[in-house]
Amino acid sequence: VSRHAKSQALFERACKVIPGGIYGHKQPGFGLPGSAPYYATKSEGARFWDVDGNEYIDFLCGWGPVVLGHAHPAVEAAVREEMAKGTCPDLPGPAMVNLAEHMVDKISVADWAVFAKNGIDVTTWAIRLAREHTNRPKIVVAHGAYHGAAAWCTTHPGGVTEEERSDVLRMTFNDASSLEKLVEANPEQIAGVILTPYHHPTYRPQQLPDDDFWSDVRRICNRAGIVLVLDDIRVGFRLAKAGSHAHFAIDPDLVCYSKALANGHPIAALVGRQKMAAAAERVFMSGTYWFSSAPMVAALTTLQIIERDAVPTKIAVLGERFKSGLLEITHRHGTSGRVTGPPCAPYLTFDEDPDLFLNQELSRELFAHGIYLHPHHHAFISAAHTEADIDKTLEVVDHCLPTAIERAASIKRNWP
Amino acid sequence: VSRHAKSQALFERACKVIPGGIYGHKQPGFGLPGSAPYYATKSEGARFWDVDGNEYIDFLCGWGPVVLGHAHPAVEAAVREEMAKGTCPDLPGPAMVNLAEHMVDKISVADWAVFAKNGIDVTTWAIRLAREHTNRPKIVVAHGAYHGAAAWCTTHPGGVTEEERSDVLRMTFNDASSLEKLVEANPEQIAGVILTPYHHPTYRPQQLPDDDFWSDVRRICNRAGIVLVLDDIRVGFRLAKAGSHAHFAIDPDLVCYSKALANGHPIAALVGRQKMAAAAERVFMSGTYWFSSAPMVAALTTLQIIERDAVPTKIAVLGERFKSGLLEITHRHGTSGRVTGPPCAPYLTFDEDPDLFLNQELSRELFAHGIYLHPHHHAFISAAHTEADIDKTLEVVDHCLPTAIERAASIKRNWP
């Protein structure tokens, strides 16, 4: 019987009632169909269990939100207490004010905060504020960046019209001159630039910002009257307790948060400078569930624990241990393994394998040995991971890598 | 001391850290600033308590999601049990398949279902499917309709570019000939028509569909190869257990649900005909929190209770009682009160008062007497309301209406 028999059976049922069975970033095709589990039944701390009962050390952390560990007791207790008071009130609760005050207090660029549900809600809100503030139409994004699945930014054009994207321009991350050229070619037309703190293109090594990149971007934006939006959804509060701009010395006008903000509860936040507040009052954004208090209480509790326990520091130490272990092992086995991105969100790739065959074969082996390390997406480390989890994972990598290397070489030899 | 002293104080704190203090549909300006509470602390059954401790019979039901009553014990128990297994897993859970199977089983037009968080996620998903399916750009919406705050449909243009809306055309609800004209003027350009089952424009009486409207719309769509999208977010599962299209004999290709689907837990669903499944596989939509099981379990539990307890029938009976009482009272007091929309979502207006002065003065009085009936938005009835709640409310309306009539007349006399 297959290790994933129940996942497969459930997926077959799903395919009859859901187009593709599972959609979006969780679609099996983005992972390793046939070798990966499709459904989970329980997640706790740094582990999850699939529907077949297999246990995994989890290096995806719910695709980023889980920064303290799955089902963190203090966060869940606060959520349960708040949910007992009702989940969908007619009016906001005090938690909304408390969370906004906390974020304004702790985040240097935040003079105000607003809340929504999805990351895409706040990246879209941000570009709308930039347009309203400047009364200009165009938005600059980086090639290969992911800011969500909305028409203006999706990397998948199905069902999107050209008109919806006609005001979106593309620059190159770590190349401020590419922004400069867009500014010159579109005088007084560019409302905003939206960038992630560092570049994490899908299927590719990550790029930390070059020394002068962010100060050059800020200078260009200042000179041309462009609103600088930081999309800090991916690692905000995981990399640094006061936001990633503090870590990289970035000086944005607006910052988007979501993933690690509430340890897995559905909320997104947009914070901004005072100069953007008038535009924020004029732009109408809303959603039925945006005012529910439980995710706000989850966020406040999560942010307080992140600060109290110096979580980003703890995660960075674990991430460095993971990174150096991965480098030692992969190099000892004769590959040119490279780990990119910050230690809290490391991605292992192999320079000699840009098509990621070795990533895939390694993940296939790791899945079978109870390690959930995605082949096409960087990992996330959480505060629930232990040194023992990291060391155990490295042992398994050491054990699995020779088989993976051999299989990847065989696939490449037989590739048409 | 004001009845809303704590609401006011909290709002003043909020204004320092949130642009406008409260944004979106909950902004005080949409209600009665100064006379309405701004913050709630607890909601239970058909009641909520504001931050000053005032109790209200709630006729807004969280702006629609709360169909069984706030904090419904069975729904909350199911959610707590599911959340104990983790709130943000790497993979979907069995609940996603169970919910999709249930909806496909119970909803006549649903051959498949997909899930997101906000209503706007699925109305946007629907128009993208229509565009992908037809390879045409244009979308028809009704004048005065609300499908969410996205660029393509928002009624508030702040920060939205003309290009983003250039492919959106407007027809008139209950006037199929207005659609016919758009089809003639835009041959083979219209991908989809999105309409609510009945028309509920803000600040205006609601309009139920005329006898032939929906069959005419369907016929026009068939002839022109246009995808018919039903936005059933407002009263789906409150009006009829199998969706509002069953109630009005509408034959859509895609249907959007959110509000009453999960009794207040954050989820939205798009269901569709088999012919739309291929487009659904090609269009990429995703969100970090879309795969959390707890709201799916809430939805399944809510739908089962709606069916088991014949909730729409119960609500319709209560709504009729409310409506006939309101008509009797308002007419007895010499006004031409009118109650529009279906009994589950009634809206009281006065023909002689199109500017809603009397609505405002009546709500002002009702708020002070513990009845939360919004002046500018139709009400919602839930299964937690009792005949006694309705009768109590009618008594209070009877008591408050003379004062409201006098004040509204005085305001009109003094209006510049």
What value does the mean pLDDT of chain B take? 97
Token readout for A366 is 């790791």
CA pair distance A388, A399, nearest whole angstrom:
16
Q: Whose structure tokens read 């100069």?
A: A275
* Alpha carbons A336 and A267: distance in angstroms, whole number: 39
Task: Provide the 3-class DSSP secondary structure of residue A40.
Answer: strand
Contacts B53 to A, Cβ<8 Å: none
Q: Which residue of A has its CA nearest to B28?
A: A91
Place of tokens 């999960």: B262
Residues B155-209 have pLDDT tens digits of: 898 999 999 999 999 999 999 999 999 999 999 999 999 999 999 999 999 999 9
For B251-282, how does the pLDDT look when each residue is reduced to its tens digit (9 = 90+)? Answer: 999 999 999 999 999 999 999 999 999 999 99
Cα distances from A314 to residues A240, A260, A393, in angstroms, run: 11, 15, 18
What is the distance in angstroms between the CA of the first residue and the CA of the last residue of chain B? 32
Tell whether A85 is within 8 A of chain B (Cβ): yes
Q: Which portions of chain A are predicted below pLDDT 70?
A: none
Contacts B67 to A, Cβ<8 Å: none
* Residue B68's pLDDT band (cuts 50, 70, 90): very high
B402 close to A (CB below 8 A):
no
pLDDT of residue B415: 80
Helix segments in B187-310, DSSP class H: 213-224, 244-248, 277-282, 293-308
Strand partners, A43: A48
Write out pLDDT tens, residues B94-110.
Answer: 999 999 999 999 999 99
- Quote the pLDDT of residue B52: 98
Q: Which of A277, A131, A254, A113 has its CA nearest to residue B158?
A: A131
Q: What is the DSSP string of A171-203?
A: EBTTBHHHHHHHHHHSTTTEEEEEE-SSB--TT
Residue A235's pLDDT is: 98
Q: Which residues of A touch B166 (CB under 8 A)?
A: 163
Q: Cα dist. B215→B123, B181, B184, B218 in Å?
A: 22, 17, 18, 5
Pairwise CB contact (< 8 Å): B264 & A25: no
Is the distance from CB of B390 to CB of B322 less than 8 angstroms? yes
DSSP calls for B332-362? HTT--EEEES-TTS-EEEETT-TT-HHHHHH
For B144-287, where are the E strands, in sequence order?
168-171, 190-195, 227-231, 254-257, 268-272
Closest C-alpha to B7, from A91, A99, A113, A84: A91
Quick check: A272 and A192 in contact, CB under 8 A?
Answer: no
pLDDT score of A355: 93
Of A80, A161, A266, the CB nearest to B131: A161
- Chain B CB within 8 Å of residue A411 CB: no
Tens of pLDDT, residues A327-356: 999 999 999 999 999 999 999 999 999 999
The SS3 of residue B94 is helix
Closest Cα in chain A, distance from residue B364 (Å) = 16
pTM of the complete model: 0.97
Q: Provide the 10 A C-beta neighbour count for residue B105.
A: 9
Closest listed residue to residue B270, CA positions, set B138, B89, B130, B79: B130
Minimal Cα distance from B57: which residue of A?
A90
SS3 A230: strand
Among the partner-chain residues B100, B121, B283, the one whose CB lies closest to the CB of A158 is B283
| Pairing state between β B268-272 and B112-116 | antiparallel
Query: Cα–Cα distances in Å, from B125 out to B192, B227, B229?
Result: 12, 13, 11
Residue of chain A minimizing CA distance to B125: A159
**Residue B303 corresponds to which tokens in the numbers above?**
């739908």
Whether A291 and chain B come into contact, CB under 8 Å, resolves to yes
Chosen from A23, A41, A125 to mutate, greatest number of chain B CBs within 10 A: A23
Q: Could you tell me the two tokens for B390? A: 């309705």
Nearest to A30 by CA among A283, A360, A271: A360
Count of residues making up chain B: 416
- Provide the chain B residues 155-214 that lie in CB contact (below 8 A) with chain A: 156, 158-161, 163-164, 166-167
Whether residues A131 and B279 touch (CB distance < 8 A) is answered with: no
The DSSP secondary-structure symbol of B256 reads E
Question: Which residue among B17, B62, B117 sits closest to A100, beta carbon to beta carbon?
Answer: B17
Q: What is the mean pLDDT of residues B104-127?
A: 98
- As a whole number of angstroms, the distance between CA A27 and CA A252 comes to 34
Q: Which of residues 49-78 of B touch A (CB under 8 A)?
A: 50-51, 58, 60-66, 70-71, 76
Give residue B271's pLDDT.
98
Q: Which of B342, B368, B352 is nearest to B405 (CA)?
A: B352
A117: closest CA of chain B, how far (Å): 7
Cα-based distances in Å from A367 to A319, A356, B148: 20, 16, 41
Secondary structure of residue A30 in the 3-state scheme? helix
In the sheet where A47-50 sits, what is the strand order?
A40-44, A47-50, A55-58, A371-372
pLDDT tens-place string over residues A228-287 = 999 999 999 999 999 999 999 999 999 999 999 999 999 999 999 999 999 999 999 999
pLDDT tens string A104-119? 999 999 999 999 999 9
**A18/A20 Cα distance (integer angstroms):** 6
The verdict on a CB contact (< 8 Å) between B264 and A167 is no
